[in-house]
Amino acid sequence: MTASDQPQVPDLDQLARQVADHIENAEVQALLDLVAPLHPADIADIMERLNRFEQNFVFDALAPEEGSQVLLELEDATREDVLADIDEKRLAPMVDEMESDDAADIVGELDDEVRERVLRQVPEESRQEVEQLLTYPEDSAGGIMALEIPWIRQNHTVAKAIEMIRTHHREIEDINEVFVVDRDQRLVGEILPVGLLLADPEAKVSDIMKTEVVSVPPEMDQEEAAGIASKYDLINVPVTDDNQRLLGVITYDDIFDVIEEEDQEDISYMAGTGEDEPAERSAMKAVRERGPWLLLGLLGSMAAGQVMKGFEQSLQANVMLVIFLPAVMATGGSVAIQASSLVVRGLGGGSFAFQGVPLVLWRELRVSALLGLGLGLLLGSFALVSFGDSRFGLCILAALGLVVVNAAITGTLIPLVLKRIGIDPAVAMGPFITALNDVMAVTIYFLVVVTMLSGHVPSAAVR
């Protein structure tokens, strides 16, 4: 099949319907004929569209090599289901089939007991690799690196290096870079296969290799490692120990995944969805993941309510004070999230031009003063017109302005503080900062209103 015969992207919805039909009619051969020529990522996407019975039906029909690839492409929630239902005897050869990093990921997802049983059925070499990789934290450079390393020696000739790749690294799929090591297996350079292809076969590897090699320690956070790959445009990130000895390689496809995963993690912090994900079907899991964030927000706004209770007298005097409160609270919350999200984005991904806290804060102060003034004038004018009372209008302008500036300061400082004390600053972009702001906004609002209006009753109150 040539590229031009092929549709550019298969219609997965339609394929999923056909697969479901074949399953209903128990047409196993027709199912296989339909599914087998597809890319494992497409088979996985089709499975996402099926119910659990159908998912297992398709998965069980696949050959182990194919099944192992499909397993890796499934969404977390679906893979959890499939792994819960799969026979260990069927899983073991799939694990053996995978690259070491993928095998460790899958085995790492199993319950301790199942893990033991599966590993016992995996050949010695694969088992040792998996066990070695599982010693690193899941989201560290070590936790995502593969142990299959295409390496050659610096004192070899190009011809000998090619022979080395042919005899020793043939089993490594898709070699797109070759690492050069010294006698002690320390990383001293890198070379692209095309470099070997175009070089004189008698040239020495050390004379044609690139020596400015960036490598990372296995303990490094995966986000930082991906940031380095992205910054220096690396296809692979070599992982080395303290003596610069080559331990493993993080490949570009894992870097795609990490960039995506870390940003999605930030989004889930902002939205307060925890580990709930789009492919998840269990309502209980969603409740468990989202509930705590909502509870946090609820407690914050209940506290805000209690603050209001403290100002009951002012409210009794003029209940209409309250109609400006939603605007003040909402605007403060939005400003806090704007400021915190910029600081978090600046801190993460290594892309922050860190001009120092004072400069960042100074900019936020100016920005929020301008925004507070602009929005305050708008809401204040509206208050003036509604109540026909200029003092009250001024009061709303002051309250909103203060709330906005306060929100900007809080939104800037909290992620910096969280980072300093070792908590992911992304937490500060969501319900946490909103809850905090609710309490502060209500307090500021009433304090300003009570202070500025003391003794003065806005005219609307005596309509």
Contacts of a second copy in 308-367 (CB under 8 A): 308-309, 312, 315-316, 319-320, 322-327, 329-331, 334-335, 337-338, 340-343, 345-346, 349-355, 363, 366-367
- Taking the CA atoms of 222, 228, 233 and 238 in sequence, report the sign of the dihedral they define: negative
Count of CA atoms in the C-beta half-sphere (13 A) of 119:
23
Nearest-approach distance from CB 447 to a second copy, in angstroms: 16
298 binds a second copy (CB under 8 A): yes
Residue 91: alpha-carbon gap to chain centroid? 28
Nearest-approach distance from CB 173 to a second copy, in angstroms: 10
CA-based nearest residue to 35, from 59, 56, 65, 64 = 59
Alpha-carbon span 456 to 220, nearest angstrom:
61
281 binds a second copy (CB under 8 A): yes
Please give the structure tokens belonging to residue 355: 């001009």
Kind and range of the H or E element at 180? strand 178-181
Nearest-approach distance from CB 217 to a second copy, in angstroms: 7
Residues 422-451 that bind a second copy (CB under 8 A): 429, 431, 434-435, 438, 442
- Judged by CB under 8 A, the residue of 32, 193, 208, 241 near a second copy is 193
Residue 339: alpha-carbon gap to chain centroid? 20
Nearest-approach distance from CB 38 to a second copy, in angstroms: 10
Please give the structure tokens belonging to residue 233: 């445009």
232 versus 451: smaller Cβ distance to a second copy: 232
Site string for a second copy, 163-182 (x = CB under 8 A): --xx---x---xxxx-----
204 binds a second copy (CB under 8 A): no
2 versus 29: smaller Cβ distance to a second copy: 2
- Judged by CB under 8 A, the residue of 232, 390, 456, 457 near a second copy is 232
419 binds a second copy (CB under 8 A): no
SS3 199: coil
Site string for a second copy, 19-58 (x = CB under 8 A): --------------------x-x---x--xx---------
Q: Which stretch binds a second copy (CB under 8 A): 28-36, 94-102, 127-135, 272-280?
A: 272-280
380 binds a second copy (CB under 8 A): no
Count of CA atoms in the C-beta half-sphere (13 A) of 260:
6
Q: Cα separations (Å) of 379 from 108, 375, 390, 394, 449? A: 55, 6, 12, 10, 14
**Residue 146 backbone dihedrals phi, psi, to 5 degrees:** -105, 150
- Judged by CB under 8 A, the residue of 30, 60, 75, 88 near a second copy is 75
Nearest-approach distance from CB 266 to a second copy, in angstroms: 6
* Inter-residue contact 266 to 340 (CB < 8 Å): no
Q: At what angle do helices 357-387 and 390-420 cross, to 10 degrees?
A: 150
Burial of 174 (C-beta count, 10 Å sphere; 0-12/13-18/19+): exposed
456 binds a second copy (CB under 8 A): no
202 binds a second copy (CB under 8 A): no
